[in-house]
Amino acid sequence: MCYPRIEVGLPTVCSETCVGRLRYLGLVLYDADRVAEAAAVEDEHELLDAQRSVLLDPHDPEVIEAARRDGISDDWIDAAQRSPVWRLIHDYKVALPLHPEYRTMPMVWYIPPLSPVVDVVSNSGADGEDARTLFAAIDKLRIPISYLAELFTAGDIGPVDASLRKLAAMRSYMRGVSIDDERDERIAQAVGMTGREIEEMYRLLAIAKYEERYVIPPAHYEQAHDLEEMACSLDFDGGPGMGGAGGPFGAASGSAVPVAIENFNALADRQTADRPSTPGRVNLLNWDGNGSTTGLFPPAERAEERSYDEEQT
């Protein structure tokens, strides 16, 4: 997750540079005491609802009070209330976790793709924007839905089908709004939503602004001491963590460096600096293209020599 960018409120590099604007980042509040219980649900098809139930409503007064009591700051609570991830998982229920049957309680969620369904309908000569046609196509395309269900819902087709139907309804409903200035509530009702909810989901998925897609509160100074003790979650005896001295992936490149308070603010300045923050070194994850460092590019004189040699050849 591009640590320490997240620690200073910056999105990951893959999110910020995604051409399709397909990635969203936001925090969620959850009941840590219920994680193990949810992961231990026997029926694999109940794992999705079990994981959703662990997530707490950031608008609930009791949740807000408990969060403050446990030391969660108001800006984090506010970020949880504005989190696009929470809305996609809980409000609209179109986002699904990857392989919940592994019981790792993943916190990277995915929205099943509707585009293949639309392409099939359009290529057949039918209207790829008509809700009834799209719904029928989803019902018939059992193989891809089964494949998606194996990825996201331990083989349960129902949640994947529901997610695709909501996306199809949004596509058809918004076409009516854009072309005919008509809001057909029947389309929204067919997927258990209202027209207003459809339009809100469309705004989030299609035209949301930068600050709406990435709601990342920065870490606090008062948390710095605890963060200094934090290590890679895979850094255990014999494990592949980056801080370990060995393991199946070979020796680490250096000893573990504790998190410094400097990380929380200096990184934001380094993002736009015109020279490397550490002489002779550049972190390409943070480099904005300004300045250079020894070894990053060939020396200028050598480049000129090569150009001359190429001309002579």
E-only strand ranges, 147-275: 214-215
In this prediction, residue 113 carries a pLDDT of 83
For CA atoms 2, 227, 237, 104, the dihedral sign is negative
Residue-range domains of the chain with CATH: 110-209 (1.10.3650.10)
pTM, to two decimals: 0.69
Residue 89's pLDDT is 96
Q: Say what the pLDDT of residue 109 is.
A: 95
What is the model's pLDDT at position 4? 72
| DSSP of 109-127 | EEPPP-HHHHHHHHHTTS-
Give the start-end residues of each E strand in the chain. 25-26, 29-30, 55-56, 96-97, 109-110, 214-215
| CA distance linking residue 283 with residue 5, whole number of Å | 12
Q: Which amino acid is at 236?
A: F
Query: By C-alpha distance, which of 286, 241, 280 is closest to 263?
Result: 286
For 130, other C-beta atoms within 10 Å of its C-beta total 17
- The DSSP bridge partners found for residue 96 are 110
CA distance 83 to 272: 27
Could you tell me the mean pLDDT of each successive run of 10 residues in the chain, 313 residues long?
80 86 92 92 95 96 95 94 96 95 91 74 65 68 77 94 91 89 92 95 93 89 54 47 40 42 54 56 59 63 57 61
Query: Each residue of 107-157: pLDDT tens digit?
Result: 899 998 877 666 666 666 666 566 667 776 676 665 578 888 999 999 999
Structure-token match 């990635």, residue found: 23
Dist CA 128 CA 284 (whole Å): 42
The residue whose two tokens read 């986002």 is 95
